[in-house]
C-alpha cells in the first residue's frame, strides 16, 4: 500500500469527511492506488478518543459534534490530518462566536489544507483529487510535476448561486443578515480562486447535470467535465405498519443544513400556512444557518431542532 513517503498513487484532499469524498478515496484504495486521504480533522470509526470522551459527564454534545467527523470508509493508515484550525472553527461554532469569525477560521483551514497538500503530497504522486476552493496551490504544484489534476465540484457555480441568493433576499428581506457586507466583499476574491482551479483542472467531476451545466455556462471547458451523480444507501425494504398509525400525527424530517441554500425559508412559510397544530410534527436535523435576526423572531412550536448529528442517528429518525 502507498504511504506518505513512497512514490506513486493518488492523493485525495477534502477538508471534511463527506461520504462522497471518502468513497472516492475508498475506490482508489481498493485498487491499491491511494497514497493518502488528506483532511483537516477526523476520527476513525474505532477512535478510542471518542469512546473515552463519551464516558465524561456533560460531554454528550461535544461527542455528537465530533462523532460526525468519523471516517468510516478510508483505510486508517492512509488518513493524514491537520486538525488545529478546524478544531478552533468547531469551538467557535459551539460557542456562538458569530458567522464572520467562523468563516475566517474556515478560510484559514481550507487554504492551509491546500498548501499542505502542495508541499508534502504532490511530488511523487500520479494524480490529485481535490474539491473546489481547496485545490489551487495543489494544482499549481501538480502542473510543475506533471501530476494529473481532478477537480470535484459538489455545488453550482458560485456566481450563479450568489445571484440566486440576492434574488431570494429581495423577495424575503428577513433573510438579510448583519454579516452580508462581509461576505459580499469576500466574494470576488473567492470566485477568482475557484475559476483558477477550474482552469488548471485536467478533469472536472460534477455531482449532477445541473451542477455541470452551471459551470460550463460560467466558462468551464465542457470537454473536461464528467457527471458522476451522488450515490444513495439501499432503500428501505419493508415498512412495518399498524392500523393505529392512521390516527397518529404526521411525522416529517428535514435532513441537512437549515439554510437559504436548502430553501429553509420556504419550508417555514409552508409550515406556518399549514397550521397543523398537534396533527403534524417536524424534526430538523442539521445546523441552523439563517440570519440571527430571523432566528430571534421565532420558529413554529411544532418544529424540533436537533442540530447536526451522526448519520446513524439520522437514519434512526428516518
Which pLDDT belongs to residue 59?
53
Compute the C-alpha angle 254/260/263, nearest 5°.
Answer: 50
Chain length of the chain:
318
pLDDT digits 0-9 by tens, 270-285: 988 888 888 888 999 9
Mean pLDDT of 298-304: 78
Residue, of 99 and 130, whose pLDDT is higher: 130
Which cell goes with 34?
491511494
How far the first Cα of the chain sits from its last, in Å, is: 38
pLDDT digits 0-9 by tens, 109-147: 999 999 999 999 999 999 999 999 999 999 999 999 999
What is the phi/psi pair of residue 172, to 5°? -125, 80
pLDDT digits 0-9 by tens, 20-67: 899 999 999 999 999 999 999 877 645 555 555 555 665 555 556 666
Which pLDDT belongs to residue 266?
92
Q: Residue 254 pairs with which residues in a beta bridge? A: 284
Compute the C-alpha angle 198/202/204, nearest 5°.
Answer: 55
Which pLDDT belongs to residue 232?
78
Mean pLDDT of 76-80: 89
3-class SS at 252?
A: strand
Return all residues near 165 (Cβ < 8 A) that are at least 6 apart. 260, 261
Cα separation, 146 vs 29, whole angstroms: 22
Q: Which of these, 108, 41, 36, 35, lies nearest to 70 by C-alpha position?
A: 41
Which cell goes with 127?
494524480
Q: What is the percent of the chain with per-residue pLDDT over 90, rounded to a whole number?
A: 51
Q: Count CB neighbours of 50 within 10 A.
A: 17
Which pLDDT belongs to residue 26?
93
pLDDT digits 0-9 by tens, 145-189: 999 999 999 999 999 999 998 999 999 888 888 888 999 999 999
Which pLDDT belongs to residue 5?
35
Cα separation, 241 vs 246, whole angstroms: 9
Return all residues near 128 (Cβ < 8 A) that are at least 6 apart. 10, 11, 12, 13, 117, 121, 122, 135, 138, 139, 142, 147, 148, 149, 150
**pTM, whole model, 2 decimals?**
0.81
Residue with cell 442539521: 286
pLDDT digits 0-9 by tens, 5-17: 344 799 999 998 8
Compute the C-alpha angle 184/94/111, nearest 5°.
Answer: 50
Which pLDDT belongs to residue 284?
93
Return all residues near 183 (Cβ < 8 A) that are at least 6 apart. 103
Which cell goes with 223?
470537454
Mean pLDDT score of the chain, rounded to an integer? Answer: 86
Which pLDDT belongs to residue 296?
66
Least confident segment among 3-17, 201-215, 297-311: 3-17
Which pLDDT belongs to residue 6?
40
Q: Please check whether residue 133 is in contact with residue 111, taking contact to mean a CB–CB distance below 8 angstroms.
A: no
Which pLDDT belongs to residue 309?
84
Q: What is the dihedral of CA 131, 136, 137, 141, to 10 degrees?
A: 90
Amino acid at each position: 500500500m502507498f504511504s506518505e513517503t513512497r512514490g506513486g498513487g493518488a492523493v485525495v484532499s477534502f477538508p471534511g469527511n463527506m461520504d462522497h469524498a471518502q468513497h472516492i478515496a475508498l475506490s482508489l484504495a481498493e485498487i491499491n492506488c491511494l497514497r493518502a486521504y488528506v483532511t483537516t480533522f477526523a476520527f476513525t470509526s474505532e477512535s478510542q478518543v471518542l469512546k473515552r470522551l463519551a464516558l465524561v459527564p456533560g460531554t454528550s454534545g461535544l461527542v455528537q459534534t465530533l462523532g460526525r467527523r468519523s471516517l468510516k470508509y478510508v483505510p486508517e493508515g492512509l488518513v493524514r490530518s491537520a486538525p488545529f484550525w478546524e478544531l478552533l472553527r468547531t469551538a467557535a461554532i459551539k460557542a456562538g462566536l458569530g458567522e464572520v469569525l467562523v468563516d475566517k477560521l474556515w478560510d484559514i483551514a481550507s487554504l492551509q489544507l491546500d498548501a499542505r497538500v502542495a508541499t508534502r503530497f504532490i511530488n511523487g504522486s500520479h494524480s490529485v483529487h481535490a474539491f473546489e476552493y481547496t485545490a489551487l496551490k495543489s494544482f499549481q504544484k501538480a502542473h510543475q510535476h506533471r501530476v494529473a489534476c481532478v477537480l470535484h465540484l459538489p455545488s453550482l457555480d458560485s456566481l450563479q448561486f450568489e445571484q440566486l441568493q440576492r434574488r431570494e433576499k429581495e423577495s424575503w428581506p428577513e433573510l438579510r443578515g448583519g454579516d452580508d457586507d462581509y461576505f459580499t466583499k469576500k466574494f470576488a476574491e473567492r470566485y477568482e480562486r475557484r475559476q483558477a482551479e477550474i482552469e488548471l483542472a485536467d478533469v472536472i467531476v460534477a455531482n449532477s447535470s445541473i451542477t455541470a451545466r452551471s459551470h460550463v455556462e460560467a466558462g468551464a471547458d465542457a470537454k473536461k467535465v464528467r457527471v458522476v451523480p451522488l450515490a444513495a444507501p439501499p432503500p428501505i425494504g419493508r415498512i412495518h405498519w399498524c392500523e393505529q398509525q392512521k390516527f397518529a400525527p404526521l411525522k416529517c424530517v428535514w435532513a441537512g443544513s437549515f439554510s437559504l441554500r436548502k430553501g429553509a425559508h420556504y419550508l417555514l412559510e409552508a409550515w406556518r400556512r399549514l397550521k397543523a397544530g398537534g396533527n403534524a410534527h417536524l424534526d430538523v436535523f442539521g445546523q441552523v444557518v439563517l440570519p440571527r435576526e430571523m432566528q430571534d423572531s421565532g420558529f413554529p412550536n411544532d418544529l424540533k431542532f436537533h442540530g447536526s448529528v451522526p448519520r446513524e442517528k439520522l437514519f434512526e429518525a428516518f
